[in-house]
Structure 1
């Protein structure tokens, strides 16, 4: 079984299919909560980045609604940086 350190190394080196990532994330326990928070933060960053990249004049309202499905309070700094970068 892989450790959480192995999981982080895999994520940094190459693309990991979502099913394998989900399986490996299932191995995280309460004692490794800081590593779990790190992985969820990275997922949130990736999701916000994807949403910002697909914004067009015609779909701004849809994308704004999508942001409320995610924890945008936690990711507000990431969102601000990406919005300023894309202007």
Structure 2
């Protein structure tokens, strides 16, 4: 059961379905280049590490993943993000 996440379903305007999503699998750690849950108030958006918990399309049909931030106040929450936002997956 996923914790409730209000309004954190990230939609990317103008996303092109033909763009290939990065190779991502459950259990990988990835980076979200513009993590809005940043720890640094001086830089409200910065690269943030996340762990991939499940692969599931967004409500728009765009490939997506449920992820959990690895640091900060939201490290006990889960976010549903577009796969194209995940980089540097290991």
Q: Work out whether the TM-score is over 0.5.
A: no
Structure number having the greater strand percentage: 2
Looking at both structures, which has the greater relative contact order when contacts are Cα pairs under 8 Å and sequence separation is at least 6?
A: 2
> TM-score when scaled to structure 2?
0.23
The structure that is helix-richer by fraction is 1
Normalized against structure 1, the TM-score is what? 0.23
Question: Which of these two proteins has the greater Rg computed from alpha carbons?
Answer: 1
